[in-house]
Amino acid sequence: MKYLFFIFVSVVIFLSCKKDKVGFTPTPYELNIPSHFPDMIIPEDNPMTVEGVELGRKLFYEERLSRDNTMSCANCHSPSASFSDPSQFSVGIDGIPGTRNSMALINLGWQNFFFWDGRAKTLEDQILEPIPNPIEMHQEWKDAVAKLNSDKTYRNMFFKAFGQEGIDSLKVSKAIAQFLRTMISGSSKYDVMYKYENSLPLNSIEQSVYASVTAEEWAGYDLFKSLNGADCFHCHNGPLMQVQKFSNNGLDATFIDHGRNGVTGNPADDGKFKVPTLRNIALSGPYMHDGRFNTLEEVIEHYSSGIQMSSTIDPMIEFASQGGVQLDAFEKDLLKKFLQTLTDYDFITNPDFQDPD
Amino acid sequence: MSSESNRKIYSFTRLYVLPLPAEALSTLSGFGVAVDTGKVIFLNSLKVNIICSVFLNLLVMGRKIKIILAVIVLTVVSCKDDKVEDPIPEIKYVRLTMQPVFGSSELSLNDTITTAEGYKVQFTDLKCYFSSLKNGSNELTQSALFDYASRGIEVFKVPGDPAKFASLTGFLGVDPNYNHDDPSAFPNNSPLNIMNANDMHWDWNPGYIFIKVEAKVDTNPDAITVLDHFVNFHIGTDQFLQNLSFSGLNWSDNGSGVYTAPLRLDLEKFLQNGAQIIDLKTEYTSHTMSGQELLSEKVIQNFATAISVY
């Protein structure tokens, strides 16, 4: 009996010591949110930690998440293209192209829905899709998890991030979501213009940026938010440079891709797609849900003269019946110059967002 | 006390001397430590302590005494439980709703109605801000956003005593005291926070859009419905702020401490407020820009008049 007791005590002490040695001491991650941005609401079941972000970053660039170990998230969300794909349609590991253009990953912590049709309500849900998708990374989650589980580095990183042994798809999506939430863009020239327009204080660096804004860029901004100009502001405004809604922006009179309607089944949603941010728009072409436009000039021309009427067209496109807002060449050039102020070079070159390996 | 009983007590009490994980200790509050004497001395919980002591001693006592003691102790403990409960004060919530109607019929977005002029109209979006709602010195809420498409008829639900709010005054629109503040700086749960305002804020400092009415219209009064005429009324800026006053609010008890009072928004009255008529054929857009002042004023005045206690 006494021996049994000693054995029991020894086992308990041993187990306790082991747990203390590995340790789970997550370090809260402090997001660097620009002063003119709203708070980012973090899901209660996925708090931001340094360990989680580090793991998520590694996973974002992890090619073993694809079946043939050739494709990571970064393949379709390239840092050099503002974390989007410069191809019209991304091509999966089996050589099959998708049907929609890869969206730029910017300020995702403030989005209310994900994908062009908004079928994912959370960032964590969105991340679960591309890996098993047959036309993308085409790998069952159990196989992806098995690969990660065979790697001691990952086993340790997952334990440090979540305090539990074992890897699963939910932990993978949570870690990547944490990393993506750190990808905040809020230091473009436009941000200084926005703060000035809203009487928000500018620091010394912003003062110098403000001084560098050209008359043409200001004129382009005026056109951008003018009803009788380019009339862009109904869908693109605020610090995020977008409103959270779905819109039919007059690309087609009839629809091959039914967009939001495919999710809701509501005929009123036919041909509607998520309004994207215009941040880094000069870097994230091609444009529209199907990547049909290669250049900003083509996009501007669409809103100027190429609007197609349909029953679900966004009523905010007030000159739709005339084909668009009818800008002249000078105005188009001004508008393009303003759109280029949305480029955030600090964002695309931020070393914290690059491949850690 | 037999030696067998002694052994039982000994091993039982020793079991609790084992180093338990912190989680287990917190779960077993009061059971943490026992000693060879058979008396539990870990006093996290007096009740647990008594129970443990009694049961440990029961193991070595006569059967009758065991039963009597057990009954006494359990009775005392049970009585104590019943006695200590304090009533939890009920938190009351007041909830204001606003039901869009067209005349006597309730209206959903994208319903087709016919105006006095014979126009067919589908309202596609209805939103508005209320602010500084109070009854005298009793303040109710700083702001509220009605968004029929996204949130249905609920205008707000906030803590409050319905007895204090039989009447309400406030603004249709956003109080100038905070209309021009940084929209990102409002608390996350404020309707004025940019994430909640979404497309109800102009980001070049005029502030918030007070009311938004969007519709599709067929202005040809024939048998064929072609809704190809768009209506956009986005009215804001301080000069068009409207005073509101409601009396006789009937806060009905919905249970769980929630009291609801209904308003209605009559879009027939919005289009035809006495002699102040909005002809959608010719008066179909205002974004409160220069040159649109007359229509902007008419639109928001009609909207304010169209709101009443339901």
**How far is A288 from B270, CA to CA, in rounded Å?**
38
Residues facing residue A247 across a β-bridge: A273
pLDDT higher than threshold 60 for residue B39: no
Q: What is the CA radius of gyration of chain B?
A: 33
The pLDDT confidence band at residue B24, using thresholds 50, 70 and 90, is very low
How do residues A150-165 score in pLDDT, each as one tens digit?
999 999 999 999 999 9
pLDDT at position B14, please?
36
Enclosing H/E stretch for A318? none
* A226 against B66, higher pLDDT: A226
| Closest residue of chain A to B217, computed from CA coordinates | A315
The pLDDT confidence band at residue A81, using thresholds 50, 70 and 90, is very high
In eight-state DSSP terms, residue B88 is: P
Strands B285-286 and B229-236: parallel
| Range scoring the smallest mean pLDDT among A296-305, B24-33, B295-304 | B24-33
Joined tokens for residue B239: 């000069």
pLDDT higher than threshold 60 for residue B242: yes
Architecture of domain A20-184: Orthogonal Bundle (1.10)
Range list of H helices, chain A: 2-22, 50-60, 73-76, 123-127, 141-149, 152-162, 169-181, 189-197, 204-212, 215-224, 261-264, 296-305, 329-340, 345-349
- Percent of chain A residues past pLDDT 90, beyond the cut: 88
Asked whether the beta carbons of residue A315 and residue B202 sit closer than 8 angstroms, the reply is no
**Most confident segment among A1-10, A89-98, B42-51:** A89-98
Asked whether the beta carbons of residue B203 and residue A197 sit closer than 8 angstroms, the reply is yes
pLDDT at position A12, please?
59
Cα–chain center distance at A185: 10
**How far is B298 from B300, CA to CA, in rounded Å?**
6
Q: What is the mean pLDDT of chain B?
A: 81
The pLDDT confidence band at residue B251, using thresholds 50, 70 and 90, is very high
- Percent of chain A residues past pLDDT 70, beyond the cut: 94
pLDDT at position B40, please?
37
How close B146 gets to chain A, by Cα (Å)? 17
Mean pLDDT value of segment A327-334: 98
The pLDDT confidence band at residue B168, using thresholds 50, 70 and 90, is very high
**How far is A161 from A166, CA to CA, in rounded Å?**
11
Burial of A201 per CB tally in 10 Å (0-12, 13-18, 19+)? exposed
Cα–chain center distance at A162: 24
> Which member of A36, A197, A244 has the closest CB to residue B204?
A197
Is the backbone peptide bond immediately before A286 cis, with ω within 30 degrees of 0? yes
Enclosing H/E stretch for B142? strand B138-147
Do B299 and B278 meet the contact criterion of CB atoms below 8 Å apart?
Answer: yes
Do A177 and A49 meet the contact criterion of CB atoms below 8 Å apart?
Answer: no
pLDDT higher than threshold 50 for residue B248: yes
pLDDT higher than threshold 80 for residue A127: yes
pLDDT at position B196, please?
96
* A346 against B59, higher pLDDT: A346
How close B205 gets to chain A, by Cα (Å)? 5
Give the residue numbers in B contacting A (CB under 8 Å), as ranges: 11, 14, 18-19, 21, 110, 124, 180, 182-184, 188, 193-195, 198-199, 201-205, 214-216, 227-228, 230-232, 285, 287, 289
**How far is B58 from B51, CA to CA, in rounded Å?**
10
Largest CA distance in chain A: 95
**How far is B54 from B46, CA to CA, in rounded Å?**
12
Give the residue numbers in A contacting B (CB under 8 Å), as ranges: 1, 5, 8-9, 12-13, 16, 36-39, 41, 110, 194, 197-200, 225, 227, 233-235, 237-239, 243-245, 268, 309, 311, 315-316, 318, 320-321
Residues facing residue B102 across a β-bridge: B105
Q: Label each residue of A81-133 as H, E or C.
A: HCCECCCCCCECCCCCECCCCCCCCCCHHHCCCECCCCCECCHHHHHCCCCCC
Joined tokens for residue A48: 């931001």
Q: What are phi and psi of B17, to 5 degrees?
A: -85, -10
Mean pLDDT value of segment A302-329: 92
- The topology under which CATH files domain A189-341 is Cytochrome Bc1 Complex; Chain D, domain 2 (1.10.760)
Domain spans in chain A, listed from the N-terminal domain onward: 20-184, 189-341
> Do A189-341 and A20-184 fall under one CATH topology?
yes
Instruction: Give the residue from A40, A227, A310 with the most B CB atoms within 10 Å of its CB, the best one to mutate.
Output: A227
pLDDT at position B17, please?
36
Strands B207-218 and B120-135: antiparallel
Mean pLDDT value of segment B209-229: 90
> Which member of A16, A238, A318 has the closest CB to residue B194?
A238
In eight-state DSSP terms, residue B166 is: S
Range list of H helices, A182-245: 189-197, 204-212, 215-224
Do A202 and A210 meet the contact criterion of CB atoms below 8 Å apart?
Answer: yes
pLDDT at position B224, please?
87
pLDDT higher than threshold 80 for residue B65: no
**How far is B228 from B199, CA to CA, in rounded Å?**
23
Largest CA distance in chain B: 105
How many contiguous H segments (helices) and E segments (strands) does chain B have? 8, 17
pLDDT at position B159, please?
96
The pLDDT confidence band at residue B53, using thresholds 50, 70 and 90, is low
The pLDDT confidence band at residue B203, using thresholds 50, 70 and 90, is confident
